[in-house]
Amino acid sequence: MDSQAHAVVHAVVAEVSKVVLGQAELVEKLLVALLADGHVLLEGVPGLAKTQLVSALGRATGGVFRRVQLLPDMMPSDVTGSLIYHPDERQFRVQKGPLLDTHFLLADELNRTPPKVQAAFLQAMQEREVTIGTATYPLLDPFIVLATQNPVEEEGTYPLPEAQLDRFLFKLLVPYPDEETELRLLDTPALEQRQPATEVQAVTTPAELVALREQLKTAVYVSEPVKQYIVRLVRATRQPERCPGLQDLRGLVRLGASPRATLNLRKASRVWAFLQGRRFVLPEDVKALAPDVLRHRIVLDFRAESSGVTVEEVVQRLLEKVEIP
């Protein structure tokens, strides 16, 4: 299983890299989320190829990709679907929304749509099903929501509630490309096409990814000390002042990570360890993914914001001070 699975992962990364340059680590983390059965919140300014990235990932994995541009005037039924009455047949029929019959859903600018539409994603993200009228419809497997938000614009946006943020396995920051990569962009013919993702070929299938996801649940061992470290790290987000060396953070954290973060950190670390070629999880695997799992689950008090303390700084200090058993 190891050699075949690693070959699939490397092939997917290679295919996506044809049209998305300099983002190999980001692609790997999206694959981690996919194999950990989680969702991803992508944060970055416009023009960083987030839509192209998700589209290419869907094509490389043989999955169905859909994109929904979220707007302030949308209704929940625009996402989930609705019952449409047909007078000639004298009956209602289901008009499915973009959540149904898709593997990869890009929810573009999730923070631009009002809370009632944001809430329409909750059932799909947690229970993997959608209710339309009185009927409930299961989603495809795998199913992953990749939502984007623009950190720059604030006018006409709505903050994501904590309950919504907690449904995301990762919050990944999409950086600007470095100078060398940006120069390569100018010499990549595929990027000048209207639909560059057509250059990407399918190298696996959704069924193979589901099978690999299920195998990883038992194939990668998580020892008791690593479990204890995960719990210590997550609990330290709630009351960091109880950790030696972090007394100055007393009162600066208003809300820490929930137990869902504990479960997600274990799942993600297990997949990350496998991608590194191991059948067991090390504390280094936990540290590698902890910022992505925790950054959107920690809410700082206004005193932290006024003193210039950021969530990224809090997470890094936790990783430095929380002891490994």
CA-to-CA distance for 63 and 81, rounded, in angstroms? 21
Average model confidence (pLDDT) across the chain: 87
The pLDDT value recorded for residue 153 is: 63
Torsion sign across C-alpha atoms 139, 27, 14, 46 = positive
Span 101-129, average pLDDT: 88
Give, rounded to a whole angstrom, the gap between the first and last alpha carbons of the chain: 31
Most confidently predicted of 7-11, 46-50, 225-229: 225-229
Residue 235 pLDDT > 80: yes
Residue ranges, comma separated, of all CATH 3.40.50.300 domains in the chain are: 2-196
Domain 220-321, CATH 1.10.340.30 — does that match? no
The pLDDT value recorded for residue 320 is: 92
What is the CB-side half-sphere exposure of residue 78 using CA atoms within 13 A? 15
- CB burial of residue 2 (10 Å; 0-12, 13-18, 19+): exposed
CA 294 to chain centroid:
12
Most confidently predicted of 101-110, 211-220, 257-266: 257-266
Residue 271 pLDDT > 80: yes
CA-to-CA distance for 240 and 205, rounded, in angstroms? 43
The model's pLDDT over 5-43, given as tens digits with 9 standing for 90+, comes to: 778 888 888 888 887 777 888 888 999 999 999 999 998
Number of residues that this document lists for the chain: 325
Residue ranges, comma separated, of all CATH 1.10.8.80 domains in the chain are: 220-321
CATH number of 2-196: 3.40.50.300
The pLDDT value recorded for residue 139 is: 92
The pLDDT value recorded for residue 197 is: 52
Q: How confident is the model at residue 293 (pLDDT cuts 50, 70, 90)?
A: very high
Q: How confident is the model at residue 105 (pLDDT cuts 50, 70, 90)?
A: very high
Lowest-confidence region among 14-18, 99-103, 208-212, 252-256 = 14-18
Other residues' Cβ atoms within 10 Å of the Cβ of residue 48? 19
The model's pLDDT over 180-211, given as tens digits with 9 standing for 90+, comes to: 888 887 876 655 555 555 578 888 899 999 99
Nearest one of 246, 260, 247 to 296, comparing CA atoms: 260
